[in-house]
């Protein structure tokens, strides 16, 4: 196989990866970088378990070819907590029981994280839109919406407004 060299930043760390042309971003993250927090649920872009944030947008990592990730900034679930402190989304997901089996949770968190990057004050319908590509068979959707709203409220209070 002709390997290609891919350069990208994952959770703020620059990486150079030898990849086969057919590799997906999901394979790079899980198999080459050992970042197994990002899950594979269907391999076809139907379930959202593999959502990561690439250049500020939520993407299904199973649908992104390695070459498409060249030069991008990727954030995965492992990149949310800073210095051992959970991101508020993570804390509220736990507190609101916005997770059961937890397999969809990393993708769900990253869709919510991307939403807040682009829309710091979403309403419940906008949150539902943002996670409509993240299937959760345990049915935590309502609690996810509440966790995002709690995060928004907290950050508004932190900003004094």
Shorter beta-carbon distance to another protein: residue 70 or 95: 95
Residues in 96-135 that interact with another protein by CB under 8 A: 96-97, 99-106, 109, 127-129, 131-135
Query: If you compute the radius of gyration of the chain from its CA atoms, what whole number of angstroms results?
Result: 16
The β-bridge relationship of strands 13-19 and 51-54 is unpaired
Shorter beta-carbon distance to another protein: residue 101 or 117: 101
- Is the Cα torsion angle 149, 87, 135, 98 positive or negative in sign? negative
Residue 75 near another protein by CB under 8 A = no
DSSP for 123-153, please give it: -HHHHHHHTTT---TT--HHHHHHHHHHHHH
Select the residue interacting with another protein from 140, 150, 151, 152 (CB under 8 A): 140
Residues in 25-44 that interact with another protein by CB under 8 A: 30, 34-44
Residues β-bridged to residue 75: 53
Shorter beta-carbon distance to another protein: residue 132 or 156: 132
> Which parts of 55-129 are beta strand (E)?
57-60, 73-75
Please give the residue ranges that form the binding site for another protein (CB under 8 A).
30, 34-47, 49, 76-78, 80-81, 86, 90-91, 93-97, 99-106, 109, 127-129, 131-145
């Amino acid at each position: 196989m002709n390997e290609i060299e891919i350069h990208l930043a994952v959770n703020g760390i620059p990486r150079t990866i030898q990849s086969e042309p057919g590799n997906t971003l999901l394979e790079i993250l899980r198999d080459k970088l050992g970042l197994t927090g990002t899950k594979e649920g269907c391999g076809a872009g139907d379930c959202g378990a593999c959502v990561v944030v690439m250049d500020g947008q939520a993407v299904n990592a199973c649908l992104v070819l390695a070459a498409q990730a060249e030069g991008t900034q990727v954030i995965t679930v492992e990149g949310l907590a800073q210095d051992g402190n959970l991101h508020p989304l993570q804390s509220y997901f736990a507190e609101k029981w916005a997770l059961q089996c937890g397999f969809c949770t990393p993708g769900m968190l990253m869709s919510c994280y991307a939403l807040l990057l682009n829309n710091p004050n979403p309403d419940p319908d906008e949150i539902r839109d943002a996670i409509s590509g993240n299937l959760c068979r345990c049915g935590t959707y309502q609690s996810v919406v509440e966790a995002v709203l709690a995060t928004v409220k907290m950050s508004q209070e932190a900003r004094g407004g």
